[in-house]
Amino acid sequence: MASRSLISVFLVLLIGSGINSSATLEPIIRLPTTRATEADSRSHGDEDGIYCASWHLAAETNNAGGWTQIPSRCHFYVKYYMTAKRYESDCEVVANFSLAFASTVEMAPDGKDAWIFDVDETLLTNMPYYIDHGFGSEVFNESCWDEWVALAKAPAMPSSLKLYNALKQMGFKIFVLTGRREHQRQDTSKNLELAGYTGWEGLILRGASDRGIPATVYKSERRSVLSNGGYRIHGSSGDQWSDLLGFAVAKRSFKLPNPMYYIG
Amino acid sequence: MASRSLISVFLVLLIGSGINSSATLEPIIRLPTTRATEADSRSHGDEDGIYCASWHLAAETNNAGGWTQIPSRCHFYVKYYMTAKRYESDCEVVANFSLAFASTVEMAPDGKDAWIFDVDETLLTNMPYYIDHGFGSEVFNESCWDEWVALAKAPAMPSSLKLYNALKQMGFKIFVLTGRREHQRQDTSKNLELAGYTGWEGLILRGASDRGIPATVYKSERRSVLSNGGYRIHGSSGDQWSDLLGFAVAKRSFKLPNPMYYIG
C-alpha cells in the first residue's frame, strides 16, 4: 500500500504540473514557505504538531469527552492556532454553514423562529484575556476572570457578528444563553452592545437556583422553557458541546472551535 | 490586539529559546522543512490550505451538515490528508480516547456489555480503492464499489484493530453494524477475518426491508433491537455521524475522521 500511495502522490504532482485542465491559475503545488499557515509545522516538531492537531480534532468532535487540561506538549499549538489564521477561518466557515442552513428555514409570521447564541468564544472572543493567561494552559482563576468580565471589553468574533446581524435581518428571534452569572448581567449586556450586538429577544444567565447544575442541564432547561413558550429553535451556536447537547436541542447545532478550555 | 498578539508570539519565541525549564530536548520552534506534516501547507497555497482545513473541521464536527461533494479546491487537501501522517494519527488518538473510556466501564458478569463498530473507514480502510478513485472526488460508482467489496481486500485500520482486540479482551460483546447489504455478508465477513478481526457477537447488514431507509434510522433501529435484548451499548465507533446519532445511542460515541464522503 505504501508504494501505491507514493505512485498516487507522484501522479498528483504530475497532474499539478499543468496537464490537468481543471488546474487553477495558481500552481497546484506550493512548496512550504516561511509563511507556514498551520500551527502544526511550528509546534515542538513534526511529531508534537501532528499529535496536537489530532488531539484538537478529538476535542472538537467530542471524542475526548471531558478534559481539564490542554496536553502540555500542545500549549504552543493552541497559542499558535488561536493567534494565526486558522481560528478565524474555522469560525468563519462555521458561520457560513450556519447562515446557509438559516436561509433554508421557512419563517412563520408568528415571530417564534429562534436562534440561540452562547457568549464566550461564540459572540465574544476573550482573546485579550487569554493572551495574558496562557491560552487555557494556566489553571482557571475565577477572580481574574471576573475582573475581565467586569471590564466589558471582549471584542466581537467578527464572523459571529456578521451571522448575528444576518439572522436578525431574516427575522430570527435571538436568545443569548450564557453560563455567566446573573450578577454579571449588566457587564455582559454592556459588553455585547459595545461589541456591536443589539436587539436580542432575551439574555439568559445562570441564576442562584442554577448553581451547581451541569452546563448541559442548565442550557437544556432554558431551551425547554423557550420551546414550551412556542419558540422553534432552529439553530444554536456555541463553542462547547454543553451548549448544544442534552434535551430541547436545536434543529441544527453549530460547534465553534475552542481548544483552550472545556465546560461539561 | 494585533500588537498584543505579536508581543505574545515574541515571548513564546523567547521562552522557546531555552529559558523555560519545561522546554523539551527538541527545539520549541522548528522552521518549516520540506518534510511538512500538514496537508494545508502543501495544498493549492496558503489560502486554500486554510480554507480546506476549516472545511474539514466543519465536516468532522457535523457543522457542514449533509454534503455531497468535496469542495473542488480541497481535492488535493483530502488526498494529502488521507495519505500523509495526519489521518493515521487522528484515528489513533480517537482509538486511545475510546479505550480510555472503555477502561472506566464497570463490566457486569451477564455478558451484556456491548460496543458497536461500523465497517468502512472504521474497522477497514478502503484506501486502496480510494487511491484509484480520487479520494472521494469522483462521483460514487456503485458497481466499481461492489467489485471492490467482493475482493475482500480492504486492510484493517491499525488503531481500530488494536482497539477491537483490547475491547474483546476486556469482555465487551462486539457488534459490527454496517450499511453494506445482506448479499455482501460473506465477502464482508471474509474481509474482516483476513484483516484480523475475529470473535464478533453479531454482524448486522442492511436487509431488503431496510432499503431506502436513511442510515441514521437504520442504525438506530438496529441499536434499539440490541438494547431491547438487554445489551448495554457503552461505545460506538464510526466515521459517519449517521453511525452515531439518532436514538438508542451509545453512552459514548466516537467519530473517526472521513473527509472523503458523507452518508446521511
pLDDT in tens, B170-204: 999 999 999 999 999 999 999 999 999 999 999 99
Chain B residues within an 8 Å CB radius of A239: none
The three three-digit cell numbers of residue A19, written as one number: 496537464
B58-93, pLDDT tens digit by residue?
A: 999 999 999 999 999 999 999 999 999 999 999 999
Distance of CA B193 to the CA centre of its chain: 20
B90-116, pLDDT tens digit by residue?
A: 999 999 999 999 999 999 999 999 999
Instruction: Considering only the beta carbons, identify the residue of B32, B64, B252 that sits closest to A97.
Output: B64
Element (H, E) at B96: helix B85-102
Edge-to-edge strand list for the sheet holding A232-238: A202-206, A173-181, A113-117, A232-238, A252-255
Mean pLDDT (whole number) for B209-227: 97
| Cα of A208 to nearest chain B Cα, Å | 30
Cβ-Cβ contacts under 8 Å between A and B: the total is: 181
Mean pLDDT (whole number) for A207-222: 96
- With contact defined as beta carbons under 8 Å apart, do A260 and A130 qualify? yes
In this predicted structure, the answer to whether residue B229 has a pLDDT above a threshold of 90 is yes
A22-53, pLDDT tens digit by residue?
A: 322 333 333 333 333 444 444 456 889 999 99
- With contact defined as beta carbons under 8 Å apart, do B17 and B23 qualify? no
> Could you tell me the pLDDT band of residue A136, with boundaries at 50, 70 and 90?
very high
Across the interface, do A34 and B35 touch by the CB < 8 Å criterion? Answer: no
For residue B237, give the nearest of B48, B96, B73 by alpha carbon.
B96
Residues 6+ apart with CB under 8 A from A127: A82, A83, A155, B1, B5
Residue-level pLDDT at A47:
87
In this predicted structure, the answer to whether residue B126 has a pLDDT above a threshold of 50 is yes
| % of chain B exceeding 70 in pLDDT | 83
Contact map slice: A 40-79 vs B, CB within 8 A: 40-46, 48-51, 53-55, 57-58, 60-65, 72-73, 76, 79
Residue of B nearest to A61 (CA): B61
Give the C-alpha separation, A182 to B227, whole Å: 42
Which residues are bridge partners to B61 per DSSP? none
Residue-level pLDDT at A189:
98
Interface check B32 vs A, CB under 8 A: yes
**Residue of A63, A70, A237, A260 for testing the chain B interface, max B β-carbons within 10 Å:** A63
| Cα of A189 to nearest chain B Cα, Å | 22
Residue-level pLDDT at A158:
98
Residue-level pLDDT at A28:
32
Mean pLDDT (whole number) for A242-252: 97
Edge-to-edge strand list for the sheet holding B173-181: B202-206, B173-181, B113-117, B232-238, B252-255
Residue-level pLDDT at B249:
97
In this predicted structure, the answer to whether residue B43 has a pLDDT above a threshold of 60 is no
> Could you tell me the pLDDT band of residue A75, with boundaries at 50, 70 and 90?
very high
Across the interface, do B37 and A50 touch by the CB < 8 Å criterion? Answer: yes
Chain B residues within an 8 Å CB radius of A9: 79, 83
Interface check A17 vs B, CB under 8 A: no
Across the interface, do A92 and B54 touch by the CB < 8 Å criterion? Answer: yes
Across the interface, do A83 and B28 touch by the CB < 8 Å criterion? Answer: no
Across the interface, do B41 and A38 touch by the CB < 8 Å criterion? Answer: yes
Residue-level pLDDT at B2:
40
Residue-level pLDDT at B135:
96
Residue-level pLDDT at B3:
41
Lowest-confidence pick of B39-43, B122-126, B138-142: B39-43
Domains parsed from chain A with CATH numbers? 87-255 (3.40.50.1000)
> Could you tell me the pLDDT band of residue A82, with boundaries at 50, 70 and 90?
very high
Mean pLDDT (whole number) for A152-156: 98
For residue B42, give the nearest of A256, A32, A172 by alpha carbon.
A32
> Could you tell me the pLDDT band of residue A212, with boundaries at 50, 70 and 90?
very high
For residue A140, give the nearest of A219, A69, A213 by alpha carbon.
A69
Residue-level pLDDT at B24:
29
Longest CA pairwise span in chain A (Å): 67
Task: Look up the ipTM and state it.
Answer: 0.84
Across the interface, do B32 and A33 touch by the CB < 8 Å criterion? Answer: yes
Mean pLDDT (whole number) for B218-247: 98
Interface check B20 vs A, CB under 8 A: no
Interface check A36 vs B, CB under 8 A: yes
- Indicate the DSSP class of residue B230: T
Residue-level pLDDT at A19:
28
